[in-house]
Amino acid sequence: GNNVTFFRDINSVGVGNIVKFQISNSSSETRVFDVTESNNIKELDLELAGNTASVKTHANDLREYAVFNSNGTFSEPEFFPP
């Protein structure tokens, strides 16, 4: 399985927008990073409820993210409309 998945969402981009990503199959080991700029990688704060992690972030422009879990696997991202 994959313990890292890269994702982005062009549909959520807009001035002043906030996006919330939900990541299933998560645990306390799950980490999400903004990897848009390879020389300025930032870890994002997660909220964990059961095995679902949520992360909220600004969506003023298109950003690339990586979700990583050393003890888990992630499938391909799916889009769920708000």
- pLDDT tens by residue, the chain, 82 residues: 568 889 999 999 999 999 999 988 888 889 999 999 999 999 999 999 999 999 999 999 999 999 988 765 555 555 555 5
Query: Which tokens hold the place of 77?
Result: 């991202």
Give buried/exposed letters for 40-78 (b at 16+ CB in 10 A, else e). Answer: eeeebebeeeeeebebebebeeebebebbbeebebeeee
Other CB atoms within 10 Å distance of the CB of residue 32: 24
Determine the pLDDT at residue 40.
Answer: 95
The DSSP H or E segment spanning 33 is: strand 31-34
Determine the pLDDT at residue 52.
Answer: 93
Classified as helix, coil or strand, 66 is: strand
Q: Is 23 exposed, middle or buried (0-12, 13-18, 19+ CB in 10 A)?
A: buried
Determine the pLDDT at residue 49.
Answer: 96
